[in-house]
Amino acid sequence: MKNIAGIPENGKKRVVIIGGGFAGLKLAKSLKKSEFQIVLVDKNNYHQFQPLFYQVATAGLEPSAITFPLRKAFQNQQHIHFRIAALEKVDAENQAIQTDIGRLKYDYLVLAIGADTNYFGNQNIQRHATPMKSLGEAIHLRNTILTNFEKALNETDPEVIDSLLNFVIVGGGPTGTELAGALAEMKNYILPKDYPELDFSRMKIYLLEAASKVLNGYSEASSIKGKKYLEKLGVQVMTNTFVKDYDGKAVFLADGQTLATDTLIWAAGIKGNPVHGLGAAIIGRGGRLKVDAHNLVENHSNIFAIGDIALMTTEKYENGHPQVAQVAIQQAGLLAKNLKRQEKGQALKAFKYVDKGSLATVGRNLAVADLPFVSFQGFAAWVLWLFVHLMAILGVKNRLFVFINWAWSYLTYDQSLRLLINPRKESGKEEMENVT
């Protein structure tokens, strides 16, 4: 296989980073002023702000507001190179990676490739359910939601209409909870104005959770309050509920119940993206890569894994750290320092996660906050959620656009992004067909 072109051999140690998510981007930015040559590889040319995918899916934000061009992040950095490519295999013996655009040597390899939807081996659910782990999937979900209402307008069969109007969300974590709340607010404030011919009292939103409570990793008070908020908005919350199967028209539960729906949204779990070439021995729970306290992949001396893909077991986190942005960012920050220490022959520092708390919003003025020393819910938690997420978005322009969208939605009880954007091929070219 040919080598990736345009990346010079300049005598500097080369750090190859696979993945431009929270972990990979933080590491690359932390090494900007180092003596390393940095090569960042990602399948997309942009960073995605995953915590707000659900707002794209429910027409609250435009996709461009939560993305940031990776090349823009490293303008005028001559020793930092970026390539759009997919990792195919790691050749640890020869210190090289193989991608779909060529081969590249490394001195240090950092795997920050994140995680994808976990269907737990159910092929029918994987075939028919709708995930939300990428920007493209969020846009697809928005199209699905809006298309359902358009189809319902032209239906006369009550059972078909109900199936189109019903939404089943599996997974009562932050993603499922926030999505359920956003859908409920669309039903209560927006959709009846767009589709006055439809009877939205027939629209049902179900949130299914296998555990005994929603927001399972949160405090008891936040879990109880989160469920109360959802029910206040009209969401039917079903805990201790296991999904057995889904055929595209009906969800079959383990207790024998059946829920009719054209749309099953799967937010029930994630698994590490596969890495070929390193062997099965280093693959742990949830498809994550086993690492030591320095994020060094087991049985390797110069391959690291950070973020969602890394499985670091500690006394407090026996099943690995939570797969959230703060873990990824903190691991990346420490690894940048450790790489510099290693080059100087200094001892590496062990990673210790500092939990800054957890936030989740259910709807307007409704949120929960679990901070290290205090938990609170309601309007104050909602304001804190807004501020933290706004500040975490990359780019001043993006923050401004998100703030304007949020302010407009809050003041008008409306969203202006209910667009069906479907790709189509015409005359051999890919075009975008916009239907308002």
Q: How far apart are CA 287 and CA 344, in angstroms?
A: 33
The alpha carbon of residue 99 and the mean position of all alpha carbons in its chain are separated, in whole angstroms, by 23
Per-residue pLDDT band for 424 (boundaries 50, 70, 90) equals: low
Per-residue pLDDT band for 244 (boundaries 50, 70, 90) equals: very high
Here the contacts of 217-224 (C-beta below 8 Å, separation 24 or greater) are 217/173, 217/322, 217/358, 218/358, 218/360, 218/368, 218/370, 219/370, 219/375, 221/375, 221/377, 222/358, 222/360, 222/368, 222/369, 222/370, 222/375, 222/377
Nearest to 24 by CA among 8, 41, 12: 41
Q: How far apart are CA 171 and CA 173, in angstroms?
A: 6
How many helices (H) and strands (E) are present in the chain, helices listed first?
12, 26
Per-residue pLDDT band for 11 (boundaries 50, 70, 90) equals: confident
Query: Which segments of 247-394 are extended strands (E)?
Result: 250-253, 258-260, 263-266, 270-272, 289-290, 303-305, 310-311, 358-363, 366-370, 375-377
For residue 403, pLDDT beyond 60: yes
Position with higher pLDDT, 431 vs 381: 381
For residue 435, pLDDT beyond 50: no
First-to-last CA distance in the chain?
46
**Residue 44 CB partners (closer than 8 Å, separation 6+):** 20, 70, 84, 135
For residue range 225-242, list pLDDT tens digits in order: 999 999 999 999 999 999
Average pLDDT over residues 77-104: 95
* Complete DSSP assignment for 204-266: -EEEE-SSSSSSTTS-HHHHHHHHHHHHHHT-EEE-S--EEEE-SSEEEETTS-EEE-SEEEE
Which CA distances in Å does 98 have to 4, 42, 87, 108, 298? 9, 13, 6, 15, 21
Average pLDDT over residues 258-287: 95
Per-residue pLDDT band for 107 (boundaries 50, 70, 90) equals: very high
Strand (E) or helix (H) holding 91:
strand 87-91
For residue 95, pLDDT beyond 50: yes
* Burial per residue of 350-359, b for 16 or more beta-carbon CB atoms within 10 angstroms, e otherwise: ebebeeeebb
For residue 434, pLDDT beyond 80: no
Q: What is the CA radius of gyration of the chain?
A: 23
Q: Which pLDDT score is estimated for 420?
A: 81
Q: Which pLDDT score is estimated for 433?
A: 40
Decide the pairing of beta strands 375-377 and 420-426.
Answer: unpaired
Which CA distances in Å does 321 have to 306, 318, 325, 353? 11, 8, 11, 8
Q: How many residues does the chain have?
A: 436
Q: Please say whether the beta carbons of 309 and 273 come within 8 A.
A: yes
For residue range 137-173, list pLDDT tens digits in order: 999 999 999 999 999 999 999 999 999 999 999 999 9
* Ramachandran sector of residue 309 (left: φ over 0; alpha: ψ -120 to 50; beta: rest): alpha
Count of CA atoms in the C-beta half-sphere (13 A) of 381:
24
Average pLDDT over residues 114-138: 94
| Residue 50: strand pairing partners | none
Q: How far apart are CA 357 and CA 109, in angstroms?
A: 30
Position with higher pLDDT, 176 vs 415: 176
Query: In this structure, which amino acid lies at residue 241?
Result: T
Q: Which pLDDT score is estimated for 427?
A: 44
* Ramachandran sector of residue 2 (left: φ over 0; alpha: ψ -120 to 50; beta: rest): beta
For residue range 314-338, list pLDDT tens digits in order: 999 999 999 999 999 999 999 999 9
What integer best gives the mean pLDDT of the chain? 93
Backbone phi, psi, residue 327, to 5°: -65, -45
How many C-beta atoms surround the C-beta of residue 76 within 10 A? 5
Q: Which pLDDT score is estimated for 24?
A: 97
Per-residue pLDDT band for 414 (boundaries 50, 70, 90) equals: confident
| All structural domains of the chain | 14-43+85-117+270-343 (3.50.50.60), 123-268+357-420 (3.50.50.100)
Q: Which pLDDT score is estimated for 48?
A: 95
Strand (E) or helix (H) holding 426:
strand 420-426
Helix segments in 109-173, DSSP class H: 123-128, 135-153, 158-165
Question: What sign results for the dihedral spanned by CA atoms 69, 74, 78, 82?
Answer: negative
Q: Which pLDDT score is estimated for 15?
A: 97
Q: Which pLDDT score is estimated for 76?
A: 85
For residue range 279-323, list pLDDT tens digits in order: 899 999 999 999 999 999 999 999 999 999 999 999 999 999 999
Nearest to 79 by CA among 23, 25, 30, 14: 14
SS3 153: helix
Q: How far apart are CA 205 and CA 23, in angstroms?
A: 34
Instruction: Report the percentage of the chain scoring pLDDT > 70.
Output: 96
User: Could you identify the residue written with the tokens 């750290």?
Assistant: 321
Q: Which pLDDT score is estimated for 423?
A: 66
For residue 223, pLDDT beyond 70: yes
